[in-house]
Amino acid sequence: AIRWDGSAWSALTLPPNTKSLLGVWGMHADDVWAVGNERTLLHWDGLTWVRHQMPPTELAIEHLDGVWGSASDDVWAVGSMGLILHWDG
């Protein structure tokens, strides 16, 4: 992942074993969500990426396709097989 700070791009270190990212959404520079392959669900807090665990599901989900929100406590992620996740803070 890379980040624009207003004047230059810089590389960010992702957590170990992170594969492809398929969706990114951010409310603020210190509140960014990313989703992707192999159940990847990450949150950027302005300093580092933190991996979040997907809640248990009966669906055989291997990836999340997109993420969007209207506020820091109203974030939605979607995956295959109709999976919809909601973060409320």
Strand pairing report for 84-87 and 64-71: unpaired
Q: What is the pLDDT of residues 11-66, one digit of tens each?
A: 989 998 888 899 999 999 999 999 998 889 999 999 999 999 888 777 777 789 99
Residue 5 has pLDDT above 90, yes or no: no
User: What's the CATH number where 44 sits?
Assistant: 2.40.10
Distance CA 30, CA 18 (A): 20
Question: Which residue range is the domain that position 39 belongs to?
Answer: 2-87
Q: Please give the pLDDT value at position 7.
A: 94
Residue 71 has pLDDT above 80, yes or no: yes
Structurally, how many domains does the chain consist of? 1
Q: Is the separation of the CB atoms in 33 and 26 below 8 Å?
A: yes
**Which pLDDT band, with edges at 50, 70 and 90, does 80 fall under?**
confident
